Amino acid sequence: GLGHACTVDGDAVAFETGDDVFVLPSKALLHKECRRPVPVERRIVAVRPVEPVPVRCVEVDGEHMYLAGRAMVPTHNSTLSMDFMRSCSIKHGMGSVIFSLEMGRTEIVMRLLSAEAKIKLGDMRSGRMTDDDWTRLARRMSEISEAPLFIDDSPNLTMMEIRAKARRLKQKHDIRLIVIDYLQLMTSGKKVESRQQEVSEFSRSLKLLAKELEVPVIAVCQLNRGPEQRTDKKPQVSDLRESGCLPASTRILRADTGAEVTLGELLATGEQPLVWSLDERMRMVARPMTKVFPSGRKEVFRLRLASGRQVEATANHPFLTVDGWMPLGELTTGGRVAVPRALPAPIDMVTSSEDEIVELALQAVADAAVPARAFALPKDQVAALLCHVWEDSGLLAWDVDAQQAMIRYSTADRRFIDDLAVLLLRIGVFSQITETASGYDLRVTDPDGQAVFLHDVGAHGTAAQWVLTQLGPTLTRRSVDGVTPELEESLGRLLAVERFTPSELVGAGAPRSSLAEVAGVLGEADIDMVATNNVYWDEIVSIVSLGEQDVFDGTVPGTHNFVADGVSVHNSLEQDADMV
C-alpha cells in the first residue's frame, strides 16, 4: 500500500527504502548503517474514482514539470499531441510533423523514447536506467528512428513558414498528420488590429491548409478557467486563453428595445438580443449577440474616462482607440477610446400617450431608475420624458457670472445617472458624469449640447425657453466631439498624399461638419468617415485593478463589437476561433 517494491521469501518480506521506517533506536541505527542510496520512486498501487471536485489546468515554463498533490507526484502539462503522432508514425508507419513552439526537439524525442520503451522519464533524465531499461530502449530505438516522424522546433514560426514547410513535407514524404503546439505562441509577423483577429486568421489558414493538403491539422491551445465553471468540465472554443472578458454586471446596450441588459441576465435566460455595434465606418448598426458564455475567473480592471463613464474588463479585452483595437493592458492614461456620441432609435419603438410619459417620469424619479419601456420611446417622447424628470429634480438655469447655461441632474444612484445619459444620447446630447460628496451629477456643458437639450427638451416645458434665449448670443456651434489633436494627426496622414496640412483646412476644435465639407471637395472616404461616425474619443483618466472576478463574454458576428457600460468594446475570440 506504500508503493515500495518488495520480495517475499517464506515468512519474510524484504524491501529497500531510504526512508526512516523503524522507531526502536537499535533497529533504526542498524538500518541507517546498512541501507544504501535507493532511487526515490514509488509504484502505483491503486486507481479509484473519487467524488467530482473543481479542477484547474497548470502551465509551467521550462521543463513543463510540476509536483502534484500531497504526495508530490511529478506530472506534465500535456502529451496528447505526441500520442497522436506516435500512433500515426510509429504504429501505423504514416508520416507526421509537429511544429513545436513550446518544447525543443531534444525534450520531444526523450518523451517519445520514454513512452515507446516504457521507461520512466525521470530515470532517463537522471541516468538511473537499469539493464532492462537499456534493453527495451535498444529494442525500440530502430523502430523509432525509422518512423516517418518530423519535428520542427523553430522559434517564432509564422503561418507562412508553417504552410511552406508542410507543403514540402507533403510532396517529399506524404505526411498524413500535422500538429501545432501551441496556437497562442504563433505570430503573423505583421501588424494587426487585435490579437483576436490574428488568431482568427491562424484558424482560417490552418483550415485551408488542411483542405489543401488533405490531412488533419491539430492545433493545441491553452485554455482559461472557463471549464471549471461547468458541471461537466467540458472545454469549449470560448475557453481559449486569449479571450477578453467582462464581469456579469456589465450592461449591454440593446438595439431592439433601447434598454440595457447585463451579461449575467443574458447568460441566465439564453436570450439573443440585437445590440448596438460599430460597423467598418464607425456608425451604429444593430447586430445580434448570438452567445454569452463564462470565461473563468480572472483579474479585472476598472477603466475610468474623462466623461465619467467607466467599464470593468480583463487586461486582454480590446477597446477601440484612434489607432485601432488595443487590449486594455496596453492602454495608458491620456489615451482615448471610443464611446457612442449619439444613439439611433431602437428597432422596436413603442409610442406612449402624454399621460403615460408623465407616469414614466414620476416612476423614474421615485425608483431612481428609468423604466425599461421608456428606452423604446420615439425621440420626441424621450425629450418629453427628460423634461418631466428635470422639472421634478433637475437644475436648469442661467449662470450670469459665467454667461452659460447650467444643466445638471443630481442623484445618489449611479445606475439612474447612467440611464439618463443613455436617454440623452437618444436626442444627440453627450453628457458628463461627475462624482460628488452626495452622489453623482449629470451635466451638459458644451454649447452645442446645451442648445440641443434646451431646444428639444425645452419644447415640452417653459423654463428652458428663457435659458435658450440667453444662450443664443454666446453659442459658438463648436461640438464637444470636434477635431481633437489625435484626429488632427490622423487627418494629417490622410491628407499627406494631397500635400495639405490639417491646419490649412481645419484646426483643432473645429466642428466635424468642416471635415465633411473637406471630404466632399477631396472625395476622401476616410475623411468622410471621421466626419460622420458615431464615435466620441473619450480620454482615459485611470486604470485600477479590482482583483479577480468571475468573468463572461459575448459573441457578435460580423462587426465583433458591442457597447458595454457606455463604451465600445470588442467581443471575445470565441466567434473567431473555428474548430481546427
**Which CATH number is 391's domain given?**
3.10.28.10
Mean pLDDT across 111-120: 82
Q: Per the domain annotation, does 226 fall within a domain?
A: no
Do 358 and 459 lie in one domain? The reply is yes
pLDDT of 580 higher than 50 = no
Q: Which of 447, 474, 501 is the last residue of a domain?
A: 474
pLDDT of 305 higher than 60 = yes
- C-alpha cell recorded at residue 166: 508542410
Residue 481's pLDDT is: 47
Count of domains in the chain?
A: 5
Q: Per the domain annotation, does 62 fall within a domain?
A: no
- The string of pLDDT tens digits covering residues 478-498 is 444 444 555 555 555 544 444
Do 392 and 425 lie in one domain? The reply is yes
Q: Which of 191, 220, 249 is the last residue of a domain?
A: 220
Q: Per the domain annotation, does 61 fall within a domain?
A: no
Q: Per the domain annotation, does 149 fall within a domain?
A: yes
Do 364 and 430 lie in one domain? The reply is yes
Do 331 and 367 lie in one domain? The reply is no
pLDDT of 470 higher than 70 = no
Do 179 and 109 lie in one domain? The reply is yes
Q: Per the domain annotation, does 233 fall within a domain?
A: no
Do 43 and 102 lie in one domain? The reply is no
Q: Which of 189, 220, 251 is the last residue of a domain?
A: 220
Binned at pLDDT 50, 70 and 90, residue 188 comes out as low
Q: Which helix (H) or strand (E) holds 276?
A: strand 274-278
Residue 5's pLDDT is: 65
| Residue among 532, 346, 511, 367 at smallest CA distance from 423 | 346
Do 366 and 319 lie in one domain? The reply is no
| Residue among 487, 193, 514, 191 at smallest CA distance from 336 | 487
pLDDT of 523 higher than 50 = no
Residue 325's pLDDT is: 83
Mean pLDDT across 142-161: 82
Q: Which domain holds residue 29?
A: 1-50
Contact in structure between 158 and 188 (CB atoms under 8 Å): yes
Least confident of 85-94, 197-206, 428-437, 474-483: 474-483
pLDDT of 168 higher than 60 = yes
Do 522 and 541 lie in one domain? The reply is no
Do 40 and 103 lie in one domain? The reply is no
pLDDT of 101 higher than 60 = yes
Average pLDDT score, the chain: 76
Do 448 and 504 lie in one domain? The reply is no
pTM score of the predicted model: 0.59
Q: Per the domain annotation, does 310 fall within a domain?
A: yes
Do 84 and 213 lie in one domain? The reply is yes
- The string of pLDDT tens digits covering residues 453-464 is 888 887 666 555
Contact in structure between 419 and 427 (CB atoms under 8 Å): no
Residue 554's pLDDT is: 86
Higher pLDDT among residues 336 and 530, named by residue: 336
Higher pLDDT among residues 432 and 404, named by residue: 432
Q: Per the domain annotation, does 70 fall within a domain?
A: no
Q: Per the domain annotation, does 273 fall within a domain?
A: yes
Binned at pLDDT 50, 70 and 90, residue 524 comes out as very low
Do 313 and 271 lie in one domain? The reply is yes
Give the β-pairing of 95-100 and 175-181: parallel
CA–CA separation, 545 vs 566, rounded Å? 20
